[in-house]
Amino acid sequence: MQRLECCLYPLPPPCAMQQAARFLRRGLETLSDGAIKKATSLKYASHERIYHNILATAWKIEEKERAISFLNQAQSDYKQSLSIADTDLEELKDHLHMHGLDAAEKDDIDPTNEESDGNDSSSEPQASSPGSL
């Protein structure tokens, strides 16, 4: 009892609690059996709704945990693939170096190189042959 009294909302005095209990009893006594059954049914439906909300929230948490697990696994797989690609790249660089390919020539084989080599189809339009449209 003392623990409850130290919360934000102090408990009402005992006389107020007794009066509230009397009002509740009197109110329930005036209800018909059908109304009591409906009230019980309402309480049950409310309980079920709350239960299903809790269950849905638990499944949302489970879904998020499984998504995190999937993404961690995918990241691990991609890191492994990247490691293999890095190894392959280093082997290719060593091979090119052994055959005397200098840095300027290495830039020519870089697919991200933005310089055109004269064969770029996006440069000036070429004249079409007389028979083509």
> Lowest-confidence range among 24-28, 74-78, 109-113?
109-113
The DSSP element (H or E) to which 44 belongs, if any, is: helix 33-98
Q: In whole angstroms, what is the distance from residue 126 CA to residue 130 CA?
A: 12
Position 57 scores a pLDDT of 98
Mean pLDDT over 54-67 rounds to 98
pTM for this entry:
0.47
| Cβ proximity of 68 and 60 under 8 Å | no
Q: pLDDT for 63-103, tens place per residue? A: 999 999 999 999 999 999 998 888 888 888 888 888 887 55
Does residue 112 register a pLDDT over 80?
A: no
Q: Tell me, what DSSP letter sits at residue 124?
A: S
Listed in sequence order, the residues at least 6 apart from 88 whose beta carbon sits closer than 8 Å to its beta carbon are none
